Every structure is written in structure tokens, then in C-alpha cells.
Amino acid sequence: MDSKSPLNIKSLKEQVYEFLREQLRKGDLRPGSVIDMEKTSKRLGVSKTPLRDALLQLEYEGFVSILPRRKIVVNPLTLRDIRNYYEIIGALESAAVLRAVDNLKDADLKVLEALNAEMREAVETDDFDLYYDRNLKFHNVYLASSGNPILLKIINTMKKRLYDFPRPSKFVKEWELVSVGEHAQLIRLLKRRSREEAAAFVRDVHWSFQVQEKFIARYYADAQAAADAN
């Protein structure tokens, strides 16, 4: 491997994947742009095999499309895509809550409260990366308690697409505060072991495209502009 390569001694496929995901997250690879396999493999100092494998994973996750003649195009993220993701994630998280309610221990509920408090603090200090991290961990508490690791993997793969392409440098503060309030309401329902009500709240409020649409339009404004340009 070229000594100047930005990769280190890990699985090459995973290294390449992480490198490309970071490029997507930062916006260095924009919607509609083309990934040149020849140039990318030379830049990273790897053969085309790990690069191709990483690109296949990115295609599975919806980030790119692999076209004939080795042309790889970075996919736009449209409002229609976002609506579809919200519908699917809402349904899956709702199903997870139904299974998780009886498995959640008091310690889990305390973790949820602590994470939500950290999210509120992150909003108040304009620390979007911290908010993002704690938000994923919050949801993963009850997703993991559902006892279905495949469900957890599918949901988090979809969230990558929603949150990380590219991740805006600023967040919609009003939305995040509303979200923290919704988390607090969910915790209250989970404490009461209100299985059906909690599941419906996740699906019909927290992950409802219609309910969140005014915030979604603001948060994804750049993504929509890029999609319109293509």
C-alpha cells in the first residue's frame, strides 16, 4: 500500500467504505457527482477489489448507483425518498417498541432519561455532533431491547442515509427541542408500560413525515436543491 495512503492497517474493504462514507458525510462527494474508480483506487493505494466491495455496500445503502461501464453516481436524496424512509422507519421502530416494552428495565429507562438530558444540553450549546450521537443511542436502547438485531441493523442503515448525506453543519434548533420533548413523552409511556400507545406515538408522531414535514423541509433544504439540480 502506498505510504501516503489515508488508510491504515484494517480490513481494506471497511477502510475504503469508511473513507467514502466520510466523504459523503462532509459533502466532498455531492449528489450527481461521479466516483472514478481508477482515480479513487490510486488515491487510496488499493486495488479495485476492496473499492468495488465498498461501493457495493454503499449501493445497497442507497448512497450510490453503479451503472454500466464502471460509472458510479452519487444519488440525490429527494423529499420523496425521505418520506419513504420515515414511513418505513416509523413502522419498524413501532414494531420494535411493541416487543421492547416488557424487556425494558428501570436501568434502561434511566439511560433514556440521561441521554435525552444530554440531547437537550447539546441543543442549548449548539453541539450537533453530540446531539446526533446521543439521539442514535437513545433510539438504540429500546431497539436493542426488542431482541431483534436484524431489525436494529436495518433501521440504522436507513438512518445513515437520512442523517449523513451530507450532514448539515447546523441543525434546526426548534426541531431538535421538539424531538427532545417527544422523547420525554415516549419515556413516560414506556414507564407506564403503555405498549400500544408508545408504539403508536413512535409511528404516528415521532416518525410521521406529515407531523415533521415543516422541519424536514428546512433541514433537508440543501439536499432538495441538489436533487432538483439533477
Spans of all domains in the chain: 12-74, 79-229
DSSP state of 65: E
Phi and psi at residue 174, to the nearest 5°: -60, -40
Q: Which one is the CATH code of 79-229: 1.10.150.170, 1.20.120.530, 1.10.3710.10, 1.10.287.1260?
A: 1.20.120.530
* Class of domain 12-74 (CATH, top level): mainly alpha
Determine the Cα–Cα distance for residues 201 and 55; give it in Å rounded to an integer: 36
Q: For every one of its 230 residues, what pLDDT tens digit does the chain have, with 9 covering 90 and above?
A: 455 565 555 689 999 999 999 999 888 999 999 999 999 999 999 999 999 999 999 999 999 999 987 789 999 999 999 999 999 999 999 999 999 999 999 999 999 999 999 999 999 999 988 999 999 999 999 999 999 999 999 999 999 999 887 777 678 999 999 999 999 999 999 999 999 999 999 999 999 999 999 999 999 886 555 555 55
Q: How far apart are the first and last CA of the chain?
A: 36
The strand pair at 64-67 and 34-35 is best described as unpaired
Q: Is 208 left (phi over 0), alpha (psi -120 to 50) or beta?
A: beta
